[in-house]
Chains A and B, each alone.
Chain A
């Protein structure tokens, strides 16, 4: 029954996405309004099909319908309700279905948001691109990633194994993947508009403005997804780590980097009409990297702790990646003549110049990570030798880039457009620089030592000073409106990034770790704390047995445990004594052989909590920057060039007057009066 419903949903979604895109294309060609309406109606069927499919899978999981292979493989009567619900994305087929659902959801939003402008070829083409991507995912569900296969229950069957224990050991697993998918999949929309702009030849700034919020939305969720993912690693893996430069983590980080670069460089294009090719390439790269990332996650070509589900689906993703890359490059090449923009940047010491530097840094950052991630494959192919590229490489290579980024975050926000004088910089950077010195002194006073972390703290203080300066000036001028709008919200995001950077530097530099064997009643001192082992506690739950060691840390009881799932696997569950200044985490290394003795690992590091606080602040800032700073300007109003005026950036002098002031002036561009 569930198989039939689910299959029906998937088939409807697949067929509808193909039919809708073809119908819309024909309608576009003949400018047939009736046909276009039909296309839109069929496109809604994609949404309905996806919902039906997903509901069928959840229904099968909740009713423990083991005749569905997915439930047979991943379900269990013992799994608690929330993890049972989240089992829908615990394995490959389900996560592809979730991808399809999210994508269909975006289709629905595009249909609603642009319902009155569907006749615009740009919108029609964008819709067609999204529908074709949707068709790919639903095609996967008809072939190698079919979530609805029926199985004969073997005689004497009682219960399934349940989802991967790592995934049902922490509640974050119910939240992290949907967030990540909202981000990952969300980049499909700006990509679709970019492709539509290339196809229709309307490569001016109109499409950018249409997709600005979509990009921001996707970026915000991707950020949240990554932060929640590292929180999960920290809570589950038990060695104090939250970011391991693992291929799968890198795969989620790569589109984040190119997406961030895009969010910055797009501002040059909106204002000056420049960098058209670059921005289009960044969007296409971001979307392709989400597909490449999925290939890396799902194919098992690279070793990763997170490779939860491998299958034959890898080559298909690689092929899809190839198609997307070829189409993007081909279209950009084809439209080359229209993409040339005759603008110029007057001085490297300017807002534009700093955005360029920003893009250079993000591109280098992304390149380092991509190269490091795939390099073992390259070496194996060329030299037939196996090597590993791991944490030490990534840390050494990205650290300098990160430092320069912090410096740029300090200088860039105070720079005016066009050109800055030394005098101006000295004036505007004075307070941020004092902020830098103050944070350095504070760090030294609280006992931070070592050149590298101290430089990081100083630069972070510098950047925070610049961001706070902008926020203070803007709120003084505009009240609470000084917190919203792209520039001000962006500064809140910057503050979040800075907090994460400080927490990252501090927790990495001042991590202290030890592994000790304790007998009952024994106490040790480590890092100015006392640890006393009190004995073993065993608790049996429906799905697992929890063996925990009671350790008293400075009077607080911690219970690091090992959970043995009845499916056979057992995984550690560390316990953490958290705080705003310091986290102390204890992990039980192995099941105690006798009750009297345990081996535990103690990890203590400062400022961990601020990683999550900074992450949340980034999300909040993203929301703030999505609000318009001024109400009277419609977001679709032209900003630097009329949408039709391809290849004609505003007269350079038009910028002069309105940019002479402080950047804390409303940066949201004022429409340029047409000459």
Chain B
């Protein structure tokens, strides 16, 4: 019994220790790592956000058709020429239209695809929170037994005996 008491008492220490080790590891782990390392990898990353104009449902990075290879080469050249990711994407938007990028715009009507799920999640959470609120009120109105209730129970018990 004394041992459990001891254990209980020091449990908080375990959690503190845990937090220290965890935060230290996170700091070490998260400090390094920048963006893509080489031009080639930057190209792959950019290519995966551009749709292949000839194939169905694949990005430039995934596809092997001629046009995809050509665009990959072009992106590589533009990267070495020092153009930014957004500049390069714009080139393809100008050439093929908005649907060439796989990432929908965050503004205008298209922006709804980003906002609506967040709103829906928020509303659903609020609805559940409200339900809990109501349940709590219900519970508190039911749970409190008045003196007369106790008396009633005691009386019934006596009678049953």
Contact = CB atoms under 8 A, between A and B. Distances in A.
Interface of A: 237-239, 241, 244, 246-247, 302-307, 344-348, 353, 356-357, 360, 363-364, 367-368, 371-372, 375-376, 379, 382-383, 385-393, 397, 426-427, 430, 433-434, 436-437, 440-441, 443-444, 448-451, 454-455, 458, 512-515, 572, 587, 589-590, 599
Given A344-B139, A345-B132, A388-B104, A307 B59 contact: no
Nearest to B68: A589
Interface in B55-76: 55-59, 61-62, 64, 66, 69, 72
B101 A371 contact: no
Contacts of A237: 62
A346 B29 contact: no
Contacts of B135: 344-346
A382 B109 CA distance: 9
Nearest to B101: A388
Given A303-B57, A375-B113, A589-B64, A444 B102 contact: no
Nearest to B72: A515
A169 to B, nearest CB: 14
B6 interface: no
Nearest to A457: B29
12 contacts: A238-B64, A303-B57, A305-B58, A367-B120, A379-B110, A385-B98, A426-B15, A430-B11, A441-B25, A449-B30, A451-B29, A514-B41
Given A244-B62, A379-B109, A387-B98, A441 B21 contact: yes
Interface in B34-67: 38, 40-41, 44, 48-49, 51, 55-59, 61-62, 64, 66
Contacts of A386: 97-99
B22 A440 contact: yes
A303 B56 contact: yes
A360 B128 contact: yes
Given A305-B55, A437-B18, A454 B30 contact: yes
Contacts of A360: 121, 124-125, 128
Among B98, B109, B114, B121, the most chain A Cβ lie within 10 Å of the Cβ of B121
A391 B59 contact: yes
A367 B121 CA distance: 9
Given A239-B62, A393-B102, A450-B33, A440 B26 contact: yes
B116 interface: yes
Nearest to B63: A239
A449 B32 CA distance: 6
Contact of B48 (A353, A391, A393, A430): A391
B64 A391 contact: no
Contacts of A387: 98-99, 104-105, 110
A248 B30 CA distance: 35
A367 B56 contact: no
B15 A430 contact: yes
A388 B100 contact: yes
Contact of B103 (A304, A390, A599): A390
Contacts of A587: 64
A303 B97 CA distance: 17
Contacts of A455: 26
B9 interface: no
A387 B110 CA distance: 8
A440 B29 contact: yes
A513 B44 contact: yes
B139 A444 contact: no
Contacts of B14: 430, 434
A433 B79 CA distance: 44
A390 B102 contact: yes
Nearest to A237: B62
A562 to B, nearest CB: 9
A317 B135 CA distance: 42
A246 B101 CA distance: 15
A392 B103 contact: yes
B149 interface: no
A90 B150 CA distance: 73
Contacts of B113: 371-372, 375, 389, 393
B147 interface: no
Interface in B114-135: 114, 116-117, 120-121, 124-125, 128, 131-132, 135
A39 B49 CA distance: 56
